[in-house]
Amino acid sequence: MALSERRLTLIWSVLAIATLASFGTANLKGAGGFGFALIMLVAAFKARLIVSNFMELKVAPRPWRLAFDCLIGVSAALIIGLHLIVL
């Protein structure tokens, strides 16, 4: 397996572990407050891994990297902010 493919496999492992860890945090009932905020931060981390590695945006022109980082950041900030505001 080529080095880049090993990296892709490593990223997949991290994504799977992070997904299971989020599930462990929320369990079957869901999480509220800062527990949910943590879950959304993990989701944003996973999204960034996908964008940078699977979509290969880490080698794209800088404006595109920034654009996708903004989309991920805005999504997470919006969901976390509106969740915490009603606590």
Partner 1 sequence: MTDAVRSGRASVPSILIFIAADTASFILFFAVFMSERAKQVEVFARSAGTLDVRLGLINTLILITSGWLVALAVSAAKRNDLAKVRLRLLLAIGIGFCFGVVKIVEYSQKLNDGITPLTNAFYTYYFVLTGVHFLHFVIGIILLLIILNMSKSTTPKAQYMTWLESGALYWHMVDLLWIFLFPMLYLQGQR
> What residue ranges bind partner 1 (CB under 8 A)?
2, 4-5, 8-9, 11-12, 15-16, 19-20, 22-23, 26-33, 36, 39-40, 43, 46-47, 50-51, 53-57, 59-61, 64, 67-68, 71, 74-76, 78-79, 82-83, 85-87
The least CB distance from residue 30 to partner 1, in Å, is 3
The least CB distance from residue 35 to partner 1, in Å, is 8
Counting Cβ atoms within 10 Å, is residue 60 exposed (0-12), middle (13-18) or buried (19+)? middle
Other Cβ atoms closer than 10 A to 48 = 17
> Which residue matches tokens 């009603």?
86
The least CB distance from residue 47 to partner 1, in Å, is 5
Between CA 51 and CA 56 the distance in angstroms is 7
